[in-house]
Structure 1
Amino acid sequence: MSVSSGLNRAGILTGLVAVVLVAAALVVRPDGSSDSATAPASDTPTATRSATPSAALDVVSTTRLRAPVEVSRRLLESSPTVVLADATDPAAQQIAITSASTLGVPVLLDTPEAPAEIDRLGATTVLTFGRVAAVRGATAVPVDEAQAAAEIDRRREATGRRSAATADAIVMTRSASSNAAAVATARAAGAHVLEVPDADPRTDPEAARYLAEHPDHPVIALGSSFTQVAYPLDVVRKGIEQPTGGHLALGGKTTYTAMYGHPGAPQLGVLGEQGVQASIKRVERLDRKYRRESNRTFVPTFEIIATVASASAGKDKNYSAEAKIADLEPLVDAAQKAGVYVILDLQPGRTDFLTQAKRYRTLLERPHVGLALDPEWRLGRKQKHMVQIGSVSAEEINRTATWLADLTRDKALPQKIFVLHQFSLSMIKNRSRLDTSRPELATVIHVDGSGPQGAKQDTWRTLRRGAPAGVGWGWKNFVDEDEPMLTAAQTWRRVKPHPDLITYQ
């Protein structure tokens, strides 16, 4: 169906109202025959009745063509008039959607599910646009350009009023234009429609604000992209923010500048070279150096080695020395008070990452504490540190990530940084299988290569190639091993794209 450019849209819609008035004057008998009847203006298609969904969140994983029916099922109790459009004709759909929006009635696409939904709504009049299947149990009124123009001439004074239907519900879609029919049906029910292109309301300030202002309104999310939306929805509605503000740990606007090491062990990194308060002052000085280079948000950070790779098996035979929580708390407490982020680093030896991560649950339940896995120190059953370079499977990383994500969600914590250290491709087996979809975690692949800057840049490029989608990136400056170590200014100018995490060891 085409609409001539010279035809006035308002006139078309006035004519459509007239079509509905005529259709409403028909009484349809069960045998299909009909009599003329006088229908008062108050009985025109204005009695659309909405329904408020009972589920707080309903993710509708369906196609664009079926979405209007699914929205109608959830938000409408009844509608005497329904608009039905050819599912294969974009032009017919466009005028149908505009017409339905003006009349305040649902618009469905001609799919196998549509007839049952028309019956459920109790529709007596169906305005059809384009080629559609036969309508059962209701008066079908085909509408085309010629008819609309004729009705404009005949019934220019005919008016209709929109439905007063109001559903206390919110419908989220990644694209209102691609889901136009479902959106029109949602609005006919009185629902508020939010367009969230990233399927994550944390990334859209307007959507986050509206959701926070209406915390009790049920949400219908259209499309499988919203499968993981429950946690982001909870975050924006409860005002769960990062210690430095905002809902996301990274988002392309934040870089963490970290000192790496173990308390009281200077041989393991710069973090162990001084006491707690001196470490706070030193990391703040480091952070200021980067703030001079960019207006990006920089966050001072401690990456604390919680479990240290050991040359001896130890009592538990796992070649890893696990620090007591009480020994780490002074640094973690001071960091929280000073606005310093903390990442706990695991070097598990012959045990697995998940087992060690669970040891530090009480620390990971804090909003300013993230987690790092160091595959270099993940040994096989017969391996030893400094003899072989360790490695880990993507499956083990995914198990650890799932546990940490569930903990973050269950404790209503802000998104956590989840770091994976790597300096060779062999360190993470089947890296393409990493699950980076959990919105509770901001996954960072941290490039740990040391030595000449040319070699470090080669490692940076190699590890970035073919990486999983959605990961952030980390860069490490080795104070003693790099030849030479980059200054803060050089790091910011030469390492591209800009790292999300810059660590000093």
Structure 2
Amino acid sequence: MKIPQLAGTVLIGMASLGVFISCTSDAKKTNGQKKTVTANGDTVVTEEPEVGTVREAVDTAKYNALLVKLANGDTTGNWPVKNQPTPLAGAILPFKRVVVYYGNLHSKKMGALGEYAPKEMWSRLNAEIKNWEKADPSTPVQAGVHYIASVASGTPGKDGKYINRMGDKQIDSVLKIAKMHNAIVFLDIQVGLSTIKAELPRLEKYLQMPHVHLGIDPEFSMKDGSKPGKKIGTYDAADINYCSEYLANLVKKYNLPPKIFTIHRFTRKMVTNYKNIKLRPEVQVVMHMDGWGEPELKKGTYRHFIFPEPVQFTGFKLFYKNDLKKAPNRLMTPEELLKLKPQPIYIQYQ
């Protein structure tokens, strides 16, 4: 897979330095809100419950009933996942379906989030949301933006890790775009030749925010030292457990609602030892089908690599360009995706 080239002088500098762009910010609390003055002078306001904040507990019976609904009549015993913990209060899944646009603000080739100006992007995403609300009126939709905060690179950079790390200014811009429509935010990490243990802590100040969640992409986790894009990378359950424990600790420390944690997948070897993945009340894990192609190929990928290795929840990606390359040259519809077993509760458009 070819690694997209990111445009812009800022990222050219980042690629050569291989480090974060460091931007200062000034944060203040007012009436349960956190006001952060971003690198470009904008003020981002996020809800920040104080320690001791009480949220309404999850209705366990309703939660379990919705899990059965998502299983969509599966009779194999795989779904719903057995013996999973009830999430903490404030959980989004499975009470809402998350529908997001994915990409990077510096590349029109990496997804719809970077391809369109914010107002047009929101017009397009809201149209997709309406399609989902029509197809499944019983499940409210939570809008989101899924931003690639660390991008695997085709060049090694100064640190030799083949990674472009987005600076605070770029991530702050994404928070501002999300705020336009009360959306949640996912920050996605492609580690290249670095490691998830080295890269995840860099995003902690954002993951402390209640509406910011995490994604990781095994495709670009090159544990054997290969150049990103030359072969498909991998994560083990131990890597996934490190991330979920990290998120769980943030949830407990800052009294946050549960974090959603997405893991991209379209081959078996991208995620190893799935049975060892630990579920926690503080984190909701989504195994996200990330393969592109015609509808039958995508359904086959989901059936072979997502369905038989149940973790907790599932997601499904739709590619506006790559999915149209072969007949029947169209995207799958919400109605088609709702026929899958299990039904995906996280939908991503690229």
TM-score of the aligned structures, taking structure 2 as reference length: 0.72
Q: Is 2:178 the partner of 1:322?
A: no
Q: Does 1:202 align with 2:47?
A: no
Take 1:474 and 1:492, find their aligned partners in 2: how far apart are those partners? 10
Could you tell me whether the CA contact under 8 Å between 1:276 and 1:331 is conserved in 2?
no
Select which of 327, 340, 343 maps to 1:495. Answer: 340
The equivalent of 1:360 in structure 2 is: 203
Task: Indicate yes or no: 2:298 matched with 1:456.
Answer: yes
- Other structure's SS at 1:383 match: coil
SS at match of 2:231: coil
Q: Which has the higher helix share?
A: 1
- Give the Å deviation of 1:431: 1.5
State the distance in 1 between where 2:317 and 2:246 align: 27
Q: Which moved more, 1:481-490 or 1:291-300?
A: 481-490
Cα shift readout 1:392-419 (whole Å, capped 9, x = no counterpart): 1111111111011111121111111100
Give the match's secondary structure for 1:419.
Answer: strand
Equivalent of 1:476 in 291, 309, 317: 317
In structure 1, the partner of 2:126 is 284
Q: Is the 8 A contact 1:478 1:485 kept in 2?
A: no
Deviation at 1:452, TM superposition (A): 2.2
Match of 1:274 among 112, 116, 124: 116
Q: 1: CA distance between counterparts of 2:155 and 2:110?
A: 17
| 1:260/1:382 CA distance change after superposition, 3 Å | same
SS of the residue corresponding to residue 348 of structure 1 reads: coil
Asked if structure 1 preserves the Cα contact closer than 8 Å seen for 2:295 and 2:332, the reply is no
CA contact (8 A) 2:93 2:284 kept: yes
Structure 1 residue runs of 5 or longer lacking an equivalent are 1-199, 207-225, 236-246
1:421 matched to 2:264? The reply is: yes
**Aligned partner of residue 322 in structure 2, secondary structure:** coil
Contact 2:307 2:342 in 1 (8 A): no
What TM-score results when the alignment is normalised by the length of structure 1?
A: 0.50
Cα 1:367–1:491 change in 2 (3 A) is farther
Cα distance between partner residues in 1 of 2:175 and 2:120? 14
Quick check: 1:442 aligned with 2:284?
yes
Please give the residue correspondences for 1:101-120 in structure 2 after superposition, counting only pairs within 5 Å: none
Aligned length: 271
CA distance in 1 between partners of 2:342 and 2:225 (Å): 39
8 Å Cα contact 1:308-1:320 kept in structure 2: yes
Q: Does 1:263 align with 2:108?
A: no
Q: Which runs of 5+ in 2 are unaligned?
A: 1-55, 63-82
| Of 379, 383, 387, the match for 2:230 | 387
Relative contact order, higher structure (CA 8 A, sep 6+): 2
Contact 1:446–1:476 (Cα < 8 Å) also in 2: yes
Post-superposition offset of 1:334 = 3.0
Per-residue deviation, 1:496: 3.8
Match of 1:294 among 123, 131, 136: 136
Task: Say which SS state the counterpart of residue 266 (structure 1) adopts.
Answer: coil
In the other structure, the counterpart of 1:307 is 150
Alpha-carbon deviations, 1:128-179, whole Å to 9, x = none? Answer: xxxxxxxxxxxxxxxxxxxxxxxxxxxxxxxxxxxxxxxxxxxxxxxxxxxx
Deviating beyond 4 angstroms after TM superposition, the runs of 4 or more aligned structure 1 residues are: 226-229
Sequence identity (%): 27
**1:336 is aligned to 2:176:** no
C-alpha distance in 1 between matches for 2:85 and 2:343: 28
Q: Quick one: which amino acid aligns to residue 485 of structure 1? A: R
Structure 1 distance, partners of 2:288, 2:61, is: 29
User: Do the aligned partners of 2:307 and 2:341 also contact (CA within 8 Å) in 1?
Assistant: no
Cα deviations by residue, 1:429-478 (Å, 9 ceiling, x for unpaired) = 21111112x11111000011111221211111112344244x11101111
Q: Structure 2 vs 1, CA of residues 403 and 496 (structure 1 numbering), >3 Å: closer, same or farther?
A: same
Q: Which has the larger radius of gyration?
A: 1
Distance across 2 between alignment mates of 1:402 and 1:458? 32
Q: Is the 8 A contact 2:320 2:331 kept in 1?
A: no
- 8 Å Cα contact 1:283/1:301 also seen in 2: no
Contact 2:113 2:145 in 1 (8 A): yes
RMSD after superposition: 2.5
